[in-house]
Each structure stands twice: as C-alpha cells, then as structure tokens.
Amino acid sequence: MNDYRKSKKLAPLQSNAAMEYQARRHSMDMGTHRIPFGHQGLTFRIKYIFDKVPGATTVGENVAYGNLSAQAVVSGWIKSPEHRKNMEGNFKYTGIGVTRNMQNQLYFTQIFAK
C-alpha cells in the first residue's frame, strides 16, 4: 500500500494497533459469516477508532475476499474509484486484517484514519 502511495507522492501510512485489531476482527466476522461481506458495523469501528486514535476525525475502509494475494487485492482496489479514493486519501494511519475461513477463502479489511 505504501509503495502505491509513494508512487503518487503521498505520505506513507503508519500502522496503528487499534485499527489493526478492528480490521482483523471485521475480517474474522466476515469469514465466519457472523456478518455478511461488506461494511456492516462500520459505525462501531469508527467510534472505536475515534476513541483509541488521538485526533482521528475521518475513517475509510476497504474490504475484499477470495483466493487472492495481497498484491491482487491492492491491484483490484486501485481499479475501483471508491477503493482508490481511500488509498489516495489524506490519511495518516492504517490497520490491516486478513483471515482465512474454513472454506479456504481469504477476507481482507484495510481501515484508514486521519
């Protein structure tokens, strides 16, 4: 992700443990079908991040699933205007969570905040 941002002359994103926790938890919830694939529960994640990340005022989120490499996921997000908007956004922090479910499907969540 930061290689892509660097190619666009954007500042690198800093990893944030609280955001990684939320991203990992969201990927696990989708992978176990506790919630459907998508952004369900985003309001909760935003409130959590605002509480745990000092000064955070804006949050974005990208999700993906399938038997994909991380590089393929990022390439897919680059091709999507909405996902690319998050990738190129004026964000400072990120958290990434990936999980593999019992059907061998990977679920990816990347959360962005500033």
Note the pLDDT tens digit of each residue in 27-62.
999 999 999 999 999 999 999 999 999 999 999 999
Does 21 reside within a domain? yes
Does 77 reside within a domain? yes
Residue 103: pLDDT band (50, 70, 90) is: very high
Does 3 reside within a domain? no
Rounded distance between C-alpha atoms, residue 75 and residue 19, angstroms:
22
The answer to whether residues 32 and 92 touch, using CB atoms and an 8 Å cutoff, is no
What's the CATH code of the domain at 72? 3.40.33.10
Looking at every residue in the chain, the average pLDDT score rounds to: 98
Residue 97: pLDDT band (50, 70, 90) is: very high
Does 5 reside within a domain? no
SS3 93: strand
Does 7 reside within a domain? no
The domain of 81 spans 13-113
Note the pLDDT tens digit of each residue in 81-96.
999 999 999 999 999 9
How many domains in the chain?
Answer: 1
Does 1 reside within a domain? no
